[in-house]
Amino acid sequence: MNVRLDIEYIGTNFCGWQKQKTTPTIQDELEKSLKKIFVEKIILLASGRTDSGVHAYNQVANFYVEDSLKMNMVQLKNKLNFLLDKNIKIKRCTRVSDEFHSQHSAKEKTYLYRIKTFEPCSVFEENRFWFIKRELNIDAIEKISKIFIGEKDFKKFCKTGYSGSTTIRKIKKISIKKKSNYIDIFISGNGFLRGMVRLIVGCLIKYEQGGIKESDIKLAINNKKELKLRLSAPAKGLYLYNVKY
């Protein structure tokens, strides 16, 4: 039996998605809970890894297990939510075909980056937004964001240790929505390299602030200039928003 999980989580207290030996991760918490239910080791396959401190509105994962328990998917969801850390919630459990793979079957992913300006974050917003003290010029951000649209080599826009055989990815859309002093940046593409979204967002903001030129970004996309990792936007404002299949 192949089971799909749709998951939401606050990543503040976790060292990312991928299981590690000595630090708490989303994958580890989920696999421990699944083991308690099925009384066997379960290996979760995710649509992609999220870094330490990154959140998810809709992460997708799947796992294979013997169908011996004949468990109802609603029951499975409820049992998992009872066992899991309060910052992780299963939205849906679904039986899927054996061919479904949460990563390889994905057609498009959308990330959301959230920024709050001018007024500091409340206690309910801490670790959920990137706080920037002054207002931002949305027109300037939208203008420079168009450079990233299309199929390009994003080798200079990722951290080391990226997965896959190529650094070419296709950004399908970048949309920016502003409401009062809240700014949401949505980035959709066929896949993303490690740290890629945070570096793109960091470039957008650094450009608006006058700290980086349009020519610098174009040279980086053409693999003719290195971008410093300090341009990377903080992890706390990033959310895996949606995965399409």
Query: 113 with 185: CB under 8 angstroms?
Result: yes
Residue type, 235: A
Q: Which residues are annotated as catalytic?
A: 51
DSSP per-residue string spanning 80-149? HHHHS-TTEEEEEEEEE-TT--TTTT--EEEEEEEEEESSPP-TTTTTTSEEESS---HHHHHHHHGGG-
Contact status, residue 214 vs residue 147, Cβ threshold 8 Å: yes
Burial of 115 (C-beta count, 10 Å sphere; 0-12/13-18/19+): buried
Residue 138 in tokens: 């949305």
